[in-house]
Structures are given as C-alpha cells and as structure tokens.
Amino acid sequence: MTLRIGSNLADPLQTAQHARLSEDTGFDFVGAGEHVFRDNRPGATQIALSALATAAGATSRVRLLTSVVIVPLHHPVMLAKEATIVDAASGGRLTFGLGVGGEFPGEWDALDIPTRERGARTNESLELMKRLWSEEDVTHAGRFFSCNGITLYPSSPQAGGPPLWVGGRAEPGMRRAVKYGDGWLPYLFRPSHYARSFETLGNMLEEAGRSADGFGWGLHLMTAMGDSREEAVATATAGLEAGYNYDGDYSELAERYCLLGTPDECVEQLKAFEEAGAQDILLSWLAPAERISEQIEVAGREVLPRL
C-alpha cells in the first residue's frame, strides 16, 4: 500500500500560489471543496472545479481532487462538461470527489433547490454524468433532468471519465460509493472509526460483486500543526468555529477529529490512519489564510519525508 498525501486549497485568493507550493514541497495531490456561501459564516468560499482549473494551470504533476463538489447544487450536464474540461486541460489528473451537502440551508434556498431532494438529485446526476463521460449521443429523461442526443467533446483522457470518489460518513454515502463510485472520501473520522468503516465498506463491495483492489480509500482530514499540541488545538478550534455550524464545544471537536500537534505527532497520527486503511489523505488546513503557506511548507519539510 502506498500512502499519498494531499494539500487542500482553502483560500480562493491564493489558489495558484498554494497549488505550486504544494507541488514543489512534495505533495501528491491538491484538493478543493466548495460552497456558494456559508449562511451566517462570512468567510471566503469557492467552487471546486473553478479552483482546480486554476490549480491545473499552476502545476504539472500533482493530481487534482474535488473535495467535494456538492452535486445536487449543479445541473449534471454542465457539471460533467466542466469536469471534462478540467480533466482534459490537466492531462487526465482529475479525481471527482462528491457529496450531497445540506449543512448550510441558505445556499440551497438561494438556488431554489430543496434539500430534501439532494440524495435523489445526486443519484440521477451520477447516472447521467457517467453516461456522458463514456457514451455518445446521450438521451436521458429522469425525475429532475432531461437531455437529448448529447455528446461531450473533448472527451476525458481517462477512460470512462475522472474517477468518482463519494463522500459521506454514514451508510447512505457508503452505499452510494459502492453503486456509483471508484472510491470513498469521508471526513470527521478517527483511525479506529476509519478501520471499522473500511471493513464495512469492503464487505459491501464484496456483496455487490466488486473488488476492493483499485478502489480509492480517501480521507478529508482537517489539520492544524504547531510548535505544541496546545497551539495546534487553539488554531483548529478557531478554524472550525469560523467555518462550521456545531452545537457543541469546538475544541472538543478538534481533539476528536482533527490532525493536531507538532510535526512528530502528526506523522504518528497519519501512520495510524494508514494502518486503518486510508491511502489518500487530504490535509485540510484550519489555519488562517495568512498562515497556510507556512503549514504547507512545514508539512513538506517535516512530515512528508517520514511517511
């Protein structure tokens, strides 16, 4: 098993800079997530494929991971087209990570999309997108979307389109990964939890007649490094509070689910996730925007060479 480590492009104003820095410091891939906005959270947000289009032009080696596209906020024909262009322009470096979202109701209201439909919209979108990536003259008439005689050109340089990695911690996301996906990309996990889910999802794949060989075992891991664990916890707590809705203690959330501590401590935690089955771990920086470059450099210098 080979462990690959990615760097999240968290600040849309520094996308190209952070993508180049991540490639130069030895990361295997870069990732980008998305929200239209975060309701009452005023911080900057981005659209994943737009960010990765920028990253593609700033790099030549690293793979590009959407982490994640909120599929039901998009029309699947346009989404398949945008992904194809990013994949083709980057020379086949795109992995399409996806989720159903729903944690910020305001963005759904703004786009006039009911959150109760997000699972069904996602499933229909994935069925249509996979056809658009592998077939010509595609016609579809579904509950939410329809099209007639569509062929996307240029086609993806990856056979069948970019790999689909499905997000989700719970059983519905895991079952969606088995039915539609080429990999799994959860978040908010500890190593022990990941190991149990790794076994559960492996059994699901076997029951569906699919092999776990070649399946992508990803992890979106929120990360804060510091000179001490206390400093890292403080950074993570502030980052979580700025970006997420949570009813409990943010410092407790950080301690439970984030990669925290000195570089030495982070190396040991990453090795524990590797032992649990994770193969592609995206470090999602919780530091403020002006400190992200420092986090990337420290990880490249003191963490990556030891994995």
pLDDT tens-place string over residues 123-169: 999 999 999 999 999 999 999 999 999 999 999 999 999 999 999 99
Write down the mean pLDDT value for the chain. Answer: 96
CATH of the domain at 268: 3.20.20.30
Q: What is the pTM of this model?
A: 0.97
How many domains does the chain contain in total?
1
pLDDT score of 204 more than 70: yes
Pick the closest to residue 252 from 261, 263, 240 (CA basis): 240
Among the listed residues 97, 93, 113, the one whose alpha carbon sits nearest the alpha carbon of residue 105: 113
Alpha helices in 60-184 (DSSP H): 76-89, 105-110, 118-134, 171-180
Handedness of CA 106, 112, 115, 121 (dihedral sign): negative
pLDDT band at residue 1, thresholds of 50, 70 and 90? low
List, for residues 254-295, the tens digit of each pLDDT value.
999 999 999 999 999 999 999 999 999 999 999 999 999 999
Q: How far is 105 from 107, CA to CA, in rounded Å?
A: 6
Q: Which of 117-121, 152-156, 247-251 has the lowest mean pLDDT?
A: 247-251
CA separation for the pair 257, 215 (Å, rounded): 24
Domain that holds residue 31: 4-306
> What is the spatial distance between Cα 60 and Cα 224, in angstroms, rounded to a whole number?
27
pLDDT value at position 145?
98
